[in-house]
Structure 1
Amino acid sequence: MSLRIGANPIGWSNDDLLEIGGDIPLETCLAEAREAGFVGMELGNKFPRTPDALKAALAPFDMACIGGWHSVELLERSAEEEFARAKPHRDLLKAMGTDVFIVAETSNAIHGRRDMPLSKRPIMQPDDWAAYGARMTDFAERLAAEGFRLCYHHHMGTIVQSEADINAFMAATTLPVNLLLDTGHATWGGADPAALAKRYRSRISHVHCKDVRPTVRTRVEAQDWSFLDAILGKGDDLGIYTVPGDGCVDYVAVFEALSGYSGWVVVEAEQDPNKANPLAYAKKGVAHLKAALHEAGLA
């Protein structure tokens, strides 16, 4: 697979607070995504969940289905139970011809709670990683047998947030568990995304590209905001996340560390569309990614 630039609809409609962007039709999201230069979309709450309907929604915009998020609860379930629970998602992705299976542990996550500051996020005990990693590896092997690549999404407000968490998770798992490198979550979580890219290059199978506004991050951390307040911004202020080229992430360094990468790079900037025009920001993100990919020798 060649390198392709796609998008997540989170810049148009929020999956954790459905009223954010709730008035924006799916057709508008897809038309603007295509105009911005994207050739694929990840799934969001407005997308049909049957193959025929999803193909019909994407076809007018010549847009591929990249894949989609699946919440796992392997802290509480066995790999066998989780695999059975994931059957509708597996069936949809298989019908759409994609092998990208994005997962994150959400059994005790707080990123969807606006009343919960990030300082209250769950922390794994050192002795618990081995058993959890074994269940995740078992789950990934079951997916691999059906042709899927498990792409684990480290995420603010979850058990895999910090650089130490990512390192512990990767040490506790083996292939076919892959890492979804998210430049925005890595940066906000205190890691250097380029260093993570270099360290785990052989196990990175999917990339989410968003940027971080450092002045907002300083305020968010000093005042201990919730994840949702941070990404949406309070009052008229913009949130912590934005598109590539509008923050502090060095994308040339990230892509240089990903030398030889083949797959999707996905713009995923969670913002309030009433504050950050989705089309304008999408165009800015695509232009910056193309320039950085070219400079890094990946395009």
Structure 2
Amino acid sequence: MPIKIGANPIIWSNDDMPSLGGDISLETCLSEAREAGIEGMELGNKFPRVGSNLKAALSPYGLELVSGWYSTDLLIRSAEEEIERMQSHLQLLKALGATVFIAAETSNAIHSDVSIPLSRRPVLSDREWPEFARRMTLMADAVTAEGLDFVYHHHMGTVVQSRQDIDTLMSLTGPSVKLLLDTGHALWGGSDLADLAKVYRDRIGHVHVKDLRAINRAKADAEDWSFLQAIVGDVFTVPGDGCIDYAKVFAEIPDYSGWVVIEAEQYSKDVSPLTYVRMGRNHLVNTLSQTGHLSCLRAS
């Protein structure tokens, strides 16, 4: 599969704080994505979850389904229970031709609670990690058997946030657990992005390109903001509007193929989502051209 550029609907409407962009319709999101040259979309809270309805929503805009976030509860649920619980989501992805299954552990996550600062995010003990990784591997094996890549989404405010967390997860899980490289979350979590991409280049199965505004991120750290405070405080943005050098990141994954998904939390009433998604796509196209990753992309 060549590289394709997708988008996440949180550019338009936020999933963790639905009031942000709550007035923006799904049709506006999809039409603007198409207008900006986006080729596929990940799921959001306004998307239909019945295959025929979802296909009917995407098809008029010529958009593919990239994937969709799935919240695991493997710290409190067995792998067998989680595998049964995930079936409707998995079958929806399969029905629409998605190639990756995005998962993140959220049983004790704090990223959706505006009152809890990121300094109080959950961590796993040395005793808890092996069983968590075993359950995650079993779940990933089940997804892989259905023909999709299972990609783990490290995320601020969860048990897999720091570089050490990512390293531990990757070392304890089997090869069916691939890494979703999310540039914004990785950088804020303390990872060197180029090094992270280099070390796990053979296990990176999906890429999210979310940028950071360094000054706002520093303020969030100094004042111990919650994740939702960081969203409202303009910490995140699209590629080209933040501090990340994407050329250095993509230079370390020369053989990557698949989706590269533009993200930015919806936060601005002054600049339209269409303006941001165009900015992000244009910057990404220029970067991928420099690093030799560009294939046939839809014109914006």
TM-score by length of 2: 0.96
Deviations 1:84-123 (A, max 9, x none): 0011101111110112100000000000000100011001
Residue 250 of structure 2 is matched in structure 1 by: 255
Q: Matches of 1:89 and 1:129 in 2, distance apart?
A: 26
Which digits, 9 at most, give the CA deviation of each residue in 1:41-94, with x for residues without a partner? 000000001011101100110000001000001111111100100111011111
SS at match of 1:201: coil
2:280 aligns with 285
Deviating runs (4+, > 2 A) in structure 1?
A: none
After the TM superposition, which residues 44-193 of structure 1 pair with which residues of structure 2 at under 5 Å, given as runs?
44-193=44-193
Structure 1 residue ranges without an equivalent (≥5): 234-238
1:218 equivalent to 2:231? Answer no
CA distance in 2, matches of 1:145, 1:42: 22
Scaled by the length of structure 1, what TM-score is found? 0.97
* C-alpha RMSD of the superposition: 0.8
> How far apart in 1 are the matches of 2:9 and 2:268?
11
Give the Cα separation in 2 of the matches to 1:13 and 1:206.
22
> Partner letter of residue 208 of structure 2?
H
In 1: Cα distance, 2:218 partner to 2:16 partner: 23
Q: Which amino acid letter does the alignment assign opposite residue 278 of structure 2? A: K
Tell me the alpha carbon deviations over residues 161-182 of structure 1, each in whole angstroms, 9 at most, x when there is no partner: 0111111111111211000000
Deviation at 1:276, TM superposition (A): 3.9
Q: Provide structure 2 residue ranges, at least 5 long, that are not aligned to the other structure.
A: 295-300
1:127 deviates by 2.5
Paired with 1:187 and 1:123, the residues of 2 have a C-alpha distance of 18
Q: Check if 1:18 corresponds to 2:18.
A: yes
Which residue of structure 1 lines up, in the alignment, with residue 3 of structure 2? 3
For the Cα contact (< 8 Å) 1:12–1:273, is it kept in 2?
A: no
Q: State the partner residue of 1:236.
A: none
Q: CA deviation at 1:275?
A: 4.3
- Give per-residue Cα distances to partners, 1:137-163, cap 9 Å, x unaligned: 111011111112111000000000011
Letter in 1 for 2:252: A
* 3-state secondary structure, aligned to 1:297: coil
Matched residues, percent identical? 56
